[in-house]
Structure 1
């Protein structure tokens, strides 16, 4: 069962918030929200600053305030990966790690496990405590392992991930989405068992609706395990978690909010336009580029003024809104732009200008609930 193909099929059929037979028309936020929900200017992490993820029995996990996204590594279904990209990837990862970025995000579904294998190979020669590794359990509702093992399925899946990465433990283990047939209490038991067996130091969820996040948090607390993070799509083209007040609520709980598709799968880098749209497999924030171009123009204007790349400005926007960006990297130029997002801040007027050209974004019943 190729989980990467299942994931892409799901995204194509409506798991992504703007996927479907036609592209959705974007909705602008209420102008009253322009410039709001922004961190103080004193919050200005650099590449060696660290976010703290809660654990059950260890000290906090200290991870960089930007995470290296490994979805594309080995993934042919969505990202059209070619094995001859490996040298460029090695150079990119060396640059990131040497710069101080120590956080890598992967999943069992990415490349049907190939991403995890590449992650393991890439960090094999580095001290284990020098990198923070995060992976995810897909929890397919009809998978035999999930049906036969309603509690232990996450444990069994994590052992498979560890085998592929040649690791004894991961730092953070996430439920990839609320598609599992198991109840939240049963999944919480499974996640807690991952922690108690020493297979994961911390646990979290991805794509969870806020109410389900709270439910999972309460169930994990019964086992003495904190819920450390929720990872959802968040960027200039999908501000839903911020506008609904969820990001602020996570901050009050000492929970780290992670943003995936932080660059809207390349749409916020200046790489694409109406004449040159992104590939059809890039399903997140999948609006017509004509609708996105005014947003890109604002980002480009700020980038010229700051002497930064457009990608760096878009990532700094997420940091300004208290989201820890997960950003896909597969070559040295993307690595440089990611690091370039750190160590400075957009001012309030610049954030407000971007907000004026932002989108609310949507949720889906199957996948993007948070």
Structure 2
């Protein structure tokens, strides 16, 4: 396993992070996972065995059951683990149970600490932008958690570029602890964050955690052709995919996989591991064989030609304001500028 510092900190995390959205039974989450205690322990034990020290959960997952199962599975290995969890989404119909107000932050951190059976959280993340709460209030509350020792670092999830920049600016001006990481959707069929989010986090020296790197299994190849309407995505088609381009991406993945004696999923994950600025990829699995397949991606080294193939076939339609007509096919603007500066 390889490790990188998470953002501009001394906290080192594994390049693969075990996601826990599949942990626990709940009506909403049953199509996603519904793993029980024995299965969870098997996955967490195996994660430690292969060197994974990073675990991501949220108060929302299986209505808190995910945090409980993760805490129990980690057990006495707490100091070996880097635990990330999130707040934002509500458990009840109470109007103050939603969002990132000071009241919600203080209540939810105590509940997560209890469920995880720990006295501190390594990375406490805002699950989404809250348009109803002043950002200063959110950041002040999170800063208090870090100063109290209940939280070591804070992160954000699903923010846009301008929201990330605004949060950083307020923290800088007020002397608050800053967000050290961004958790975002990124995959070969979902590259939108390359326009705003990645440039922002690179500039601010933040870490990046990728969720749904296989687009809910689409990039494994099992949802193309005659199997398009089967499996998990038939019940929970998220994140959305442009299917015509997606099928072309999977075709190239299969071709490259055959030369590496690998699977399409491993190549898709390896592509992300080769991307500049990506710290850790969150893998969420339902079975141990899926986990074993995913961890094989760390050993795969893609050639420049293979990376160019994948970049080209997955390139999204570029909004006009981001167009640079000097770019070579498959390049991002950041890559072009870096290339020009090197000459």
TM over 0.5: yes
Tell me the equivalent position of 2:308.
Answer: 352
Aligned positions of 1:60-71 closer than 5 A: 60-71=10-21
Please provide the CA RMSD for this pair: 2.6
Q: Does 1:237 align with 2:193?
A: no
Aligned partners of 1:82, 1:314: CA distance in 2, in Å?
22
Distance 1:75 1:206, change over 3 A: farther
- Superposed, 1:258-269 pairs within 5 Å as 258-269=209-220
- What is residue 119 of structure 1 aligned with on the other side? 70
Give how far 1:304 is off. Answer: 1.1
Shift of 1:83: 5.7
Please tell me whether the aligned partners of residues 121 and 150 of structure 2 are also in contact (alpha carbons under 8 angstroms).
yes
Q: Deviations over 1:15-65 (max 9, x none)?
A: xxxxxxxxxxxxxxxxxxxxxxxxxxxxxxxx142333446xxxx221111
Q: CA deviation at 1:186?
A: 0.8
Question: Do the aligned partners of residues 225 and 83 (structure 1) sit closer, same or farther apart at CA in structure 2, a change above 3 Å counting?
Answer: closer
1:153 aligned onto 2:104: yes
The SS at the match of 1:357 is helix
TM superposition score normalised by structure 1: 0.77
SS in structure 2 of the partner of residue 173 of structure 1: strand
Distance change (3 Å), C-alpha of 1:348 and 1:173: same
Report 1:238-257 matches (<5 A): 238-242=190-194, 244-257=195-208
Q: Judging changes above 3 Å, is the alpha-carbon distance between structure 1 residues 82 and 263 closer, same or farther for their aligned structure 2 residues? A: closer
Corresponding position: 1:315 with 2:269: yes
Q: Which structure features the higher share of helix residues?
A: 2
Deviations 1:209-265 (A, max 9, x none): 1111111122233234121011111100111112x1532442232211121111100
Q: Per the alignment, do residues 54 and 208 of structure 1 end up closer, same or farther by CA in structure 2, a change over 3 Å counting?
A: same
Report the CA distance between 1:290 and its aligned residue: 4.9
CA contact (8 A) 1:274 1:289 kept: no
SS of 1:279's equivalent in the other structure is helix
Bigger CA drift: 350-359 or 70-79? 70-79
The 5 A counterparts of 1:33-112 are 47-54=1-8, 60-76=10-26, 77-80=28-31, 86-112=37-63
- Give 1:130's match in structure 2, choosing from 72, 76, 80: 80
Aligned mates of 1:174, 1:295 — CA distance in 2: 32
Question: Are the counterparts in 2 of residues 268 and 310 from structure 1 also a CA contact under 8 Å?
Answer: yes
Pick from 275, 279, 282 the counterpart of residue 236 of structure 2. 282
CA 1:147/1:105 → structure 2, altered by over 3 Å: closer, same or farther?
closer
- Alignment of 1:292 with 2:243, yes or no, is no
Q: Assess, with a 3 A threshold, how the Cα gap between structure 1 residues 358 and 195 changes in structure 2: closer, same or farther.
A: same
Alignment of 1:324-335 (within 5 A): 324-335=280-291
Q: Secondary structure at the match of 2:299?
A: coil
Q: Give the Cα separation in 2 of the matches to 1:197 and 1:81.
A: 35
SS in 1 for 2:124: strand
Q: 1:116 to 1:351 in 2, by over 3 A?
A: same
Q: Which has the higher contact order (CA 8 A, sep 6+)?
A: 1
After TM superposition, the structure 1 stretch with the greater mean CA deviation from structure 2, 140-149 or 346-355, is 140-149
Between the two proteins, the alignment pairs up a number of residues equal to 311
Cα displacement (A) at 1:148: 11
Q: Which runs of 5+ in 2 are unaligned?
A: 319-343
Displacement of 1:342:
0.8
How far apart in 1 are the matches of 2:99 and 2:15? 38
Match of 2:273, SS? helix
| 1:197 maps to 2:153 | no
Return closer, same or farther for 1:181/1:289 CA change in 2, 3 Å cut-off. same
Residue aligning to 1:39: none
| Residue of structure 1 equivalent to 2:323 | none
Q: Deviation of residue 103 (structure 1)?
A: 0.5
* Greater Cα offset, 168-177 or 245-254: 245-254
Q: What is the CA–CA distance in structure 2 between the aligned matches of 1:293 and 1:81, rounded to whole Å?
A: 22
- Alignment partners' CA distance in 1, 2:257 and 2:49: 25
Q: TM-score, normalised by structure 2?
A: 0.82
